[in-house]
Amino acid sequence: MPTSIRSCALLAIGTEVTRGDIVNSNTAYMAQTLTNWGFDVTIHLCVKDTKQAITQALSILEQSCDCIITTGGLGPTSDDLTASAIASWLGTTTLFNQEAYAITERRLKTLGIQEPSDIQKKQAYLPQSATVLDNTQGTAAGFYIIKKQPQKNMHIFSLPGVPHEMKAMLENQVWPYLKPLCQRIYTCLKYMTYGSYEASLSALLKDFEAQYKNQVSIAYRVCFPEIEIKLIAEQTSYLEAADKELKTILKGIIYSQTNQTYIEHTIELLRQKKLTLSIAESCTGGLLAHLLTSYPVSDILLADTVVYHNHAKHLFLDIEETLIQTYGAVSEEVALAMAQAISRKTQSNIGIGITGIAGPSGGSSKKPVGLVYVAIVLQTPHQNNQQSLVYPLNIKGDRARIQKQAAYQALFYMNQIISAMP
């Protein structure tokens, strides 16, 4: 009888999920984690809180996998039926489990409750012969049980539906059981990219995909404006060759192979180069500074000023009104003046100026909605020369998309400049 686990199926249990009241983020997280661990995730199902729905789903799932992981339905309320449904499916009953009860008791005491109520005790009834999985984040224990069959053993893990509880238990409770049984099917490499749209990336990688069609699969995931690429293969030799070639094709577009965001990458780059930054924003309304200050950046970001009205540009940045009248607030000249002024006033190494038309109104045939100018001035440490560049953008989309794309493009252009520095 096979003793390894190659494939997993996922079962989300909860009427609130089937009705769309909450998003089933658990399944996405587990599928990604299990794939990274080397398992083949074959199927996802989501069912409402009834014994019949749960047992029917288990019978379907066992046909296509070696392991089933369920989430949800382990709590104290009347619609929490997972433990009893799994017991029925296994042809057994639930029994009071002292170890599971101790988990409930321990958690409640941290909340100031000395004795679990009868309703809370319900969480301690698990299928007979189940192994308890500790839950350090909540009141409901998880459990692990094996369904012995003539051809294979079916491994069943049942976890709470609360996301932070599930995540901790998947890593700390489930993985120790799965690891010695894991027959790695896939090896996965991840690449975080910025600077090219999905369609453009696909075009760039058309020949690459054809070359590795039968050896390596490629997957794209858009998290606007960043795109994640994954290479997945059964044989590491193919993956190593594909990895090297992909990095060559997408040089300057791949910025990380971790979970690092593009904003984190930018902050890291500024710190490496020991550079400070100041920003003057118009159409982005402070979004660029908001993205950066989502992280601690007091050593990098000296100032951000939102100069939305033309008078504010003159009042706070000393932009000559004649310059605005001559070229318009949305112009290369004004963007550059904004970047130069904020850099000069704050004595930062880098100044960024952003001005544009985010819409939905305000555009014209000469200056349409989506026209944005990004100016960057760079005064490198211990050098007297100043580098100034202005980039015109024509961004398609709604107001939020135009603003976000403009903010990210400003960082992209800045990163290109400072990456070339010694």
CB burial string 340-360: b at 16+ within 10 A, e below:
bbbbbbbebbbbbbbbbbbbe
Residue-level pLDDT at 382? 61
- 7-181 belongs to CATH 3.40.980.10: yes
Per-residue pLDDT, averaged over 297-324, amounts to 97
Quick one: pLDDT at residue 385?
Answer: 67
User: Over the stretch 158-171, which tens digit does the pLDDT of each residue have?
Assistant: 999 999 999 999 99
Q: Residues spanned by CATH 3.30.70.2860 within the chain?
A: 187-256
**Structure-token pair, residue 392:** 């015109």
79 HSE (CA, 13 A, CB side) = 9
The DSSP secondary structure of 247-289, one letter per residue, reads HHHTTTTEEESSS--HHHHHHHHHHHHT--EEEEESTTTTHHH
In angstroms, rounded to a whole number, what is the distance separating the alpha carbons of residues 132 and 147?
Answer: 16
> Does the global pTM surpass 0.85?
no
pLDDT in tens, 390-413: 999 999 999 999 999 999 999 999
Q: Is domain 269-419 classified as CATH 3.40.640.10?
A: no
Domain with CATH 3.40.980.10 in the chain: 7-181
Task: Name residue, tokens 């930018």.
Answer: 266
Instruction: Please state, for a pLDDT cut of 70, what percent of the chain lies above it.
Output: 98
How many C-beta neighbours within 10 Å does residue 182 have?
17
- The pairing of strands 350-356 and 371-379 is antiparallel
Contact 71, 160 (CB under 8 A): yes
What DSSP string runs through 128-149? Answer: TTPEEE--SSSS--EEEEEE--
Instruction: State pLDDT tens for residues 331-370.
Output: 999 999 999 999 999 999 999 999 999 999 999 999 999 9
What does the pLDDT read at residue 4? Answer: 83
Residue 25 has pLDDT above 60, yes or no: yes
Q: How many CB atoms are located within 10 Å of the residue 413 CB?
A: 19
Of 278, 268, 249, the closest CA to residue 344 belongs to 278
Q: What is the pLDDT of residue 384?
A: 64
* Element (DSSP H or E) covering residue 337: helix 332-346
Tell me where in the chain the CATH 3.90.950.20 domain(s) lie: 269-419
Residue 308 CA, chain-centre distance (Å), reads: 32
For residue range 89-137, what is the model confidence (pLDDT) as tens digits? 999 999 999 999 999 999 999 888 888 888 999 999 999 999 999 999 9
- Quickly state the pLDDT bin for 418 (edges 50, 70, 90): very high
Phi, psi of 329, deg, nearest 5: -65, -35
What is the second-level CATH architecture of the domain 187-256?
Answer: 2-Layer Sandwich (3.30)
